[in-house]
Structure 1
Amino acid sequence: MNNDFIAETARHFDIPGAAVGVFHDGEEHLFCHGVTSTENPLPVNEDTLFLLGSVTKTYTATAIMRLVQDGRVSLDAPVSTYVPELKLADDREFTVRQLLNHTSGLDWGTLVDTGEGDDALARHVAELATLKLIGEVGERPSYSQSGYNLAGRIIENATGQTYEQAMTALLLEPLGLGNTHFDRDAVMTRRFAVGHEKGEIARPWRHWRANNPGGGIAASVKDLLAWARFHLASDDLGEMRKPTAVLRGSNLGDAIGVGWFLRDIDGVQAIGHGGSSNGQFAELLIVPERNFAVVSIANQGPDGIPFNQAMVRRALEHYVGVLDRDPEPLPYNASAAAEVAGEYDNDAMVMTIDDTGAGLVLEVLIRSEIRESAEMELPADHAPFPMGLLPRDEYVITEGAFTGQRGFFTRDSDGVIIGVDLAGRMFGRVG
C-alpha cells in the first residue's frame, strides 16, 4: 500500500481527491492524493474535511450507547418513550435497538427540507407521519435514513440539547476529534473537499440539517482513523458488535449489530460502514481480532465507491493477508431471467430489470416527480448495470460503479417474485 497505488487507482476511476488511513501493528499510515475541488483546487492533506455520509450513523449509534451507559436510554424501550411526539401512518411500536438495526419497518426517508434551525429534527419527526411503512416491525432489515434521523431526536430529547451540541459533548470533545464537524460554518473556515459527479461540481455541498444524524458529519482522514481506533479499543461498546438482525444477499454485511454492519471476510470477522453524500464517498472497516482498521474517502461519484473498495481490499491483503472477492454469478438461464425481469419501485426510485436474451441489466432512476419537485439539484441517474444471478434468489452487479453490489429477490407464499432488495432497500414489483 503506497501513494503510487492510490494515485494510479484514482486516475483509473477519475477521482480528483482522496485520502486513505490504515492502523496496523500499533502504527498509523496516512495517504493523501489529488485536490479538494476541480474548480478551486487545494492539495488534499491529512486535515482536509470530507463528508462521510452514512458513516455518520456509527457516531449516532455510539452516542445512543453512551446514553444507555448513563442510564438515560434503554435499547429495548419503545422509541415513543423518548420521542412521544412521534406519529406514523399506523400505531406501531418499535424499540431503540430496532431503529438502530433498521428493522423498524420505516422506509428509506423523506425528501423534505425542514430548515437549518434548531427545530430541524423536531420538524423532520413531524414529517414522518407521511413516511411509507414497508414491513412489520422486526420482519426484516430495510435501510432507513429517517430511522437514524429519528435516533438523533432521541438524543435531543434525552439530553435537552440539539443533536449537534449533544454529539460534541458526548463524543467529539471527549475523544479529541477536533477536526470533525457538523456545522457548515465550521467546515467552511477549514480546508474541505467538494463533491463531484461525473466531473462536475456537485451542489449543494450537503443536504439539510435534519439529515445530520444519518449522514451529515464531516471529518479528516486522521480523525476518521482515530474514530476507528477508538472503537478498536472500546471493550465497553462490545454490544454494538453483536448481531441483532441477519442480512441476506448483501454486500453491506452478513448481519447488523448496533450501528455496525458485521461481515465474515476470508474467515475473519469485521465490522464496518460505508457512506455517500452528494459526490463524496467514505468507507470504514475494522478487524478487531487483527487490531486493524482502514478508512478511505473520495470526492467523485459514482466511482468513489469502487475506488474506496479497491483501497480497502488492498489494505486488507497487504497488511493482514485477508482477501475480499466478489461472488461469481451463475451462467445465464433464460427461464430464471424471465422470472425476475420487470419493473419494481419504492417511494423514491424506480427499478427496471431487463432480459437482453444474453444477460440481465438493472437500471435505477430517481422518480420523475421527485426530480420535478426537488428544491435542490439531485445527483444524476446512473447508466444501467449488468447483473448476474446467484444461488438462493440472490444477484450481484457485475460491471460499473456498483460492481459487487449484491441483493436478493422476495417471493410470496405461492413462490412468485414480488420484490427485490438493493443496498438494504426494498423495491416492490409493479403490476
Structure 2
Amino acid sequence: MSDETLSEFVEATATKFGIPGVAVGVWVDGREVYACHGVTSVEDPLPVGRDTLFVLGSVTKTYTATALMRLVERGLVELEAPVRRYVPELVLADERAAERITVLNLLNHTAGLDWGVIVDTGEGDDALAGYVAKMAELELIGSPGDRASYSQAGYNLAGRVIEKVTGLPYERAITSLLFEPLGLSNSFFAPGEVMTRRFAVGHDRGQDGTLSVARPWKHWRGDNPGGGLASSVAEQLRWARFHLGDGRAEDGTRVLPAGLLGRMREPTVALRASSLGDALGVGWFLRDVDGVRTVGHGGSANGQFAEFLTVPGRDFAVVSLSNAGPDGIPFNQAVVRWALQTYLGVTDRDPEPIPYDEARAREVTGRYENDAMTFTVTAEGEGLRLEVLIKPEIRAGADIELPADHAPFDFGLLPGDGDEYVITGGAFKGQRGFFTRDAGGTVAGVDLAGRLFTRVATASA
C-alpha cells in the first residue's frame, strides 16, 4: 500500500464532501503514514499539514480518563470511590445521587447525569469549579449505575477531581501528568498558546451550500476536560502509539503500568444499539468490527470533527481530523472505514433496516427532548424522519454562536423486537440508536449517540 493511495483517497473524499481542510494519519506495520489536504480557513487559507492544530472535541475525554488512571496508580484516586471524597462541595438536584456517584461512573457515563450545562464560567483558574457549582441545575436521567448515557458534565466533573487531588488547574495537571512525560509538545488548551501556531478553524455550511467560519473557535474553559484540547494528527498518532504500547513513553519512561493501561480497554458497561460501540471501557468506546476489537473515541467541536480509532490486536491506528460541519462526520467515517478495509481487510457495514411498517411507525412518532435539544420523529409517506434541534431558549440565551441545527434525516427500524433503528441518509448516516418503553409497553424515550431523549408528545399532539 503506497502513501500516495491514502493521499488520493483523502483528497477525493474531502472534495466529495466539500471539506476545506483535513488531516489523516495511519499507524501501520510500525510506521506512520499521513495525508493532509486543503486549508485551515476559507477566510485566511493556509495549507493543512501534519502539525496543524485542530480542536479535538470529545477525544479530550481520553486524556482526562488516562490522567485519572495515573492518579489511581499513585494511590491518590480510587475508581470505585464516591466523587464526593474528592469534590465534597458537589451538589446535584438529587442528593442521594450526589452521594453515590463514583469516579468510574463519570468515566463510563453511568452517573445518571444529563448531557451538560451550557454556561460560560470565565477563563480563570476557577472556571471548572464554577462549572461544577452550576451542576446543581442539571437534570438527572436515572440513578447512578443504571445505564450509560453520554455526559459532558460527567467528564468536566472528572476534571475537577483531577484539580482537587493534584492542587493544580486541570490544564496544568494534564501537562504534568501526560504531555510532559509523553513528549506531547504540540497539544494545547489555551487559545493564546494555539494562536502562535498554525491551526484550523471550523466551518458551517449554510442553506445555500456556502461555507462560513464557525465562531467561536472553541467553547469555554469550564468545558476543557470534556472537549477543549487542540492538537495535531501527528501528535494524535503518538497518543495512539502510547495506548497501543506497554505504558512507556517513547524514551522508555514508565507512565502507566501495562495492566492499568489494559484495564482502560476492558468493558465496564454494555451499550445497546450504538454506533459508538458495543461497550464502554474507562474513557474508551469498544466495538467489534468484522470480528476485530477496536478501541476509540470521536469528537466534535464548533465546525471541527475528530475520529480516533485503534486496533490493539493489530498494532494499528487511524486518526482523521476535518474542519467543516456537518459533513466532517461522514468524511471521517469514510476515512476510518477505508483504512480498516485497505490496511487490515476489516469491513465495517451499516445494518439494513426493515421495510416501512405503519403500525410500528405510529408507536415511535412524536417529540422527545433532553436538557439542550429536541428530537422529533415524523412519518412521511412510507418512511420515517428525525430532526434534532437545539432548544430555542438555549439558543436565544447563549452568549455565543451555537452550531447549526441538524436537518431532517431518513431512518429505518431494524429487524427484531428491540426497537432499534439506523439513520439511512445525511451526515449521520449509519448512526444507530433505540427507543425505550415504559412498564406499560409505550415508547417513552429514544437514544442517539449515547444520549437519552425523553418523550414529551406524540407527533399529532
Name the TM-score class by shorter chain: over 0.9
1:201 aligns with 2:240: no
Q: Matches of 2:369 and 2:172 in 1, distance apart? A: 38
Give the corresponding residue for 1:39.
43
**3-state SS of paired residue (1:410):** strand
Aligned counterpart, 2:151: 144
Structure 2: any 5+ residue segments left out of the alignment? 206-210, 248-257
1:143-222 → structure 2 map (5 Å cutoff): 143-198=150-205, 199-222=211-234
**Equivalent pairs: percent with the same residue?**
66
SS at match of 1:123: helix
* Alignment equivalent of 1:17, drawn from 14, 21, 24: 21
CA displacement 1:32-54 (0-9 Å, x = unmatched) = 10000000000001110000000
Does 2:140 align with 1:133? yes
CA displacement at 1:159 relative to structure 2: 0.2
DSSP-derived class of the 1:283 partner: strand
Partner of 1:420: 446
Which sits farther off after the overlay, 300-309 or 232-241?
232-241
Return the match for 1:223 from 216, 227, 235. 235
**Residue 313 of structure 1: aligned partner:** 337
**Equivalent residue, structure 1, for 2:80:** 76
Counterpart for residue 346 of structure 1? 370
Hey, what does 2:424 align to over in structure 1?
Answer: 398
Q: What is the deviation of 1:357?
A: 3.0
What is residue 62 of structure 1 aligned with on the other side? 66
Distance in 1 separating the partners of 2:280 and 2:36: 31
Cross-structure match for 1:283: 307
Name the structure 1 match of 2:409. 385
Secondary structure at the aligned position of 2:407 is classed as coil
- Give 1:192's aligned amino acid: F
Secondary structure of the 1:2 match is: helix
Which structure 1 residue ranges, 4+ long, deviate > 6 Å from structure 2? none
2:124 to 109, 114, 117: 117
1:264 to 288, 309, 315: 288
- Inter-partner Cα distance in structure 2 for 1:204 and 1:361: 30
Q: What TM-score does the superposition give when structure 1 sets the normalisation length?
A: 0.99
Preserved CA contact (<8 Å) 2:7 2:34 = no
1: distance between equivalents of 2:407 and 2:276?
A: 22
- Tell me if structure 1 keeps the 8 A contact 2:10–2:335: yes
Aligned residues: 431
> Is the 8 Å Cα contact of residues 53 and 217 (structure 1) preserved in structure 2?
yes
Aligned partner of 1:96 in structure 2 is 103
Q: Where does residue 32 of structure 2 map in the other structure?
A: 28
Q: TM-score, normalised by structure 2?
A: 0.93
2: CA distance, partners of 1:185 / 1:15? 26
CA RMSD of aligned residues (A): 0.7
CA distance in 2, matches of 1:73, 1:4: 47
User: Equivalents in 1 of 2:429, 2:172: separation in Å?
Assistant: 39
String of CA shifts for 1:177-211, please: whole Å, max 9, x gaps.
Answer: 11111111110000000000111100000000010
Q: C-alpha separation between the residues in 2 aligned to 1:369 and 1:169?
A: 40
Give the one of 365, 374, 395 matched to 1:371: 395
Quote the Cα distance in structure 1 between the aligned partners of 2:178 and 2:367. 44
Partner Cα distance (2:352, 2:226) in 1: 33
